[in-house]
Chains A and B, each alone.
Chain A
Amino acid sequence: MGNKEGKTEYWRWLEYQSIMSNIELNSAEIITAGVDVGSVGSKAVIMADGEVYSWSVMRTGSNSSDSANKALEWAMEDTGLTLKDFNYIVGTGYGRVNVPMANRAITEIACHAKGANYIWGASVRTVLDVGGQDVKAIRCDQNGKVVSFLMNDKCAAGTGRGMEVIADLLKIPIEEVGEVSLSVSKEPEPVSSTCVVFAKTEAIGLLRKGWSKEKVLAAYMRAMSIRMSELIEKVGCEREFVITGGQSKNIGIVQRVEKILGVKSLTAPNVEETGRDPVAAGAIGAALYAKALYEKSHKV
């Protein structure tokens, strides 16, 4: 956890790469990739005939093009693939126009809906994508096609980046914040502001007042969850309901949103065994659209 100055970086989340060893790459006819450059995380997914073969999840650097390259290179590591092997590559996410090797870019809204459809199946109707700097509520049909979506008009408020700031402030490792926030005996009132800057000030104030770290964390997550639920209510929460993006791993958020909406979200499948990673939903959708676009242009 420490860096070279010896300071613990509580916000730092685990970057990872994984290969599905049960998929035979040599017999695959169409190899595609989806690269999702988000404001906080970059994800690359490689697909063999429309099934996840390998993928990577890493932090986005200061340069979107570099991040896109690095994420795809990492997903390609130990696969024997070179860029020439790809039939089609789609870029998506906040930095989608800066994905150098992509054949084209598609908005992350379309990709997240498609990715959620692949991960959880045709029953998904509502997708809450909690990214690094914004939250999106998406309604889709049985084919993963977007029916309606809502973009919030606020800043980094109540999102992944905000969570990192609070984790760092409270000195709780980011992977544990969900669990820790649920350890409070009674749910506190939400903090009044979910703006990262104000919420930080407010959190410091609450700590001075003698609130425990757990209670402050719970109050912050409660505020985040209320905001996310409001977004969903506007588009309507039809089942099945799922959460994608980095915060899909945060059970403190997932459980609170479920409670406010009165709807259980579908649990993610076993990521290691299936490659269906909700954090990479956008990149999965992009790789699926890459296959569809390749087939369309070649009439396979």
Chain B
Amino acid sequence: MRVIQVITYYGYRDGSGEYYIVVDAEKCNSCGDCIKVCPQKALIMESMFIDLEDKLVAAVAEEHRKKIRYTCSPCKPESGRVPCVQACDQEAITCIWNPMNRK
């Protein structure tokens, strides 16, 4: 069976650049370590519907999805550490931060 990654991008792109928290649902093992370390309490476990099954996957909580620029600003990767990415053993969470990249 071919495994297809289900990848979710939470973030924004504007004049300051692009910033995304990217979650790979196939890699996520629902352990919840990322939730514990998020200083903004922005992450939750959310049920995702994949191949007619429900799987708990790390996700940015609904109330933070439209203000990620503020929620995640203390953890921009240039600070050298993004807690949620570091906490994930499965490498299911990545962070994209390209300042001023308008492409």
Contacts and interface: CB of A to CB of B under 8 A. Distances in A.
B13 A293 contact: no
Interface string A237-248: 000000000000
Interface residues of A, number: 23
Interface stretch (B3-11, B77-85, B87-95): B3-11
Interface string B63-85: 00111110000000000000000
A150 B8 CA distance: 6
Q: Is the interface of A mostly helix, strand, loop or mixed?
A: mixed
B4 A145 contact: yes
B57 to A, nearest CB: 11
Interface stretch (A152-160, A200-208, A251-259): A152-160
Contact of A107 (B13, B49, B52): B49
Contacts of A155: 66
Contact of A234 (B9, B49, B52): B9
B28 to A, nearest CB: 14
B83 to A, nearest CB: 20
B20 A154 contact: no
B9 A150 contact: yes
Contacts of A293: 52
Contacts of A145: 4, 50-51
Interface string B1-27: 000111111111100001010000000
A107 B48 contact: yes
Interface in B35-74: 48-52, 65-69
A154 B13 CA distance: 10
Nearest to B8: A149
Given A107-B48, A230-B13, A233-B103, A153 B69 contact: yes
A146 interface: yes
Contacts of A106: 49
B66 A235 contact: no
Nearest to B18: A234
Interface of B: 4-13, 18, 20, 48-52, 65-69, 103
Interface of A: 106-107, 110, 141, 145-155, 230, 233-235, 289, 292-293, 296
Q: Give 9 nearest A-B pairs by CB, closest first.
A: A148-B7, A150-B9, A153-B12, A153-B68, A106-B49, A110-B49, A153-B66, A230-B13, A146-B6
